[in-house]
Chain A
Amino acid sequence: MRVKLKSGRDQRKFIARIEELSGENVFACYQCGRCSAGCPMASEMDLLPNQIIRLVQMGLDEDVLRSKTLFLCASCFTCESRCPKGIDMARVMEAVRHILDPKGKDAFGPGEISPELAQELPQQVLVSIFRKFSK
């Protein structure tokens, strides 16, 4: 994977904001890849969890913010339980979702659920998906 490196105030601000929101030290990651190896959603992702954290370390906000991966994380914490450096990747994902443009479109909104499906779904799944993927 090729990326164009940038170094400036925006990059430093992005990293600091992710660390502040997530409470995790993203520089602890040494790219072992265990998070991606165990991720149940990895096959659907455009960037794997370890790639997301590498891009965060480099401050490449645009690459991270446009990734589909943010809306594939099921917060199952498998990565968290296996990280040898104790990073909670689900918190990093949530921090990135948190700083997406608040005026932007919902990644997943109520309009995408048909009335028939809404009747069938357990309430908890509706509450959790809107908490995660809509503004």
Chain B
Amino acid sequence: MRVHYYPGCTLKQKTTALDISTREAMKRLDIELVEPEGWSCCGAEYPLTEEKIVGLAAPIRVLRQVREEGGDVLVTTCSFCFAVLKRADKAVKDDPLKRKRVNAYLRDDIQIDPLTKERTTGFEDYNGEVKVLHLLEYLRDRVGYPKIRERLKRNLKGLAIAPYYGCRVLRPQKEMAVDEPDSPRLFEEFLEAVGCAAVDYPFKQECCGSYISVSLPAAATEASYRILRSARMNGAKAVAVTCPLCFYNMDHRQEAIKETFLDFPGLPVVFFTQLLAWALGVDKSVLGLGEHRVPADDLFSETPATEVRT
């Protein structure tokens, strides 16, 4: 299988663990990931006012490039990219005025031919031809859990993992339409498919503080603490995330959380793709574990994989 993959800005620089573990895992599932030629930043924030049409130009440019290359699905792992691309696509599909205006911005854009690298301009409007999927959705709907189970090389023996959805994957439900916003199953089913046990806890879709961690770190420290504490109290050995910013707030800033909240002893934070790659037999050295501030090595310890699930 071949599918277009949008890593986004952060995965290429600061949070390569998410990118490399995704690539390694997809190799094991015989899925070829193709990056759209000349992709740019998605803008990170979907413009929430009716007048900020220009904020749609960047994500639509990426989606149009996917269509130009013959793709009809774009997979992404970062929750921010996913939300912006999916909502921009829906806006263009549903609102003829937005479609007209954003395409007017992009008409004189430069197009790079994927094969000849020839630069041309002037091309057809984007009308919502590409379906944006989160990797979790792609694994559920297009790959299928039975195929993942077949390929498992390591038995994770019901490792207790708390799935953390965060803000952008589920909400607003009428636009994201991924799962129920208050009782989702998507992440839980994925964890069970790779051999983990999904820990149920009440903070799985609460906000980690998002970008407030830059402007008011104390507020994000508290928000992240509430999530980590709840996960730990419910028996989780780690929290699994999909978003580099959730990872930053809960892993990189965990030292600050421990200094502020003395009752919290710490909890590793991992990417869902690291668990997937590990279960599929990928070597520990290519999971990007060096990027973690809270050591997560113990979760990926090479105890003899006795039984292989089929």
Contact = CB atoms under 8 A, between A and B. Distances in A.
Contacts of B230: none
Given A20-B50, A41-B219, A127-B41, A121 B214 contact: yes
B245 A75 contact: no
B211 A88 contact: no
A19 to B, nearest CB: 10
A9 interface: no
B244 A98 contact: no
A129 interface: yes
Given A21-B50, A81-B172, A123-B14, A128 B206 contact: no
Majority DSSP secondary structure for residues of A touching B: helix
11 contacts: A23-B50, A40-B207, A43-B222, A74-B212, A81-B170, A88-B48, A117-B214, A123-B9, A127-B45, A128-B44, A133-B215
Contact of A128 (B14, B211, B219, B223): B211
Q: B10, B49, B170, B244 — which one has the most chain A CB atoms within 10 A of its CB?
A: B49
A131 B43 contact: yes
Range, interface on chain B: 35 or more
Contacts of A23: 50
Interface residues of A, number: 42
Interface in B235-276: 244-245, 247-248, 252
A124 B78 contact: yes
B230 to A, nearest CB: 13
A37 interface: no
A30 interface: no
Contacts of B50: 20-23
B283 interface: no
The 4 residue pairs across chains A and B that have the minimum distance between CB atoms: A76-B207, A77-B171, A76-B167, A94-B48
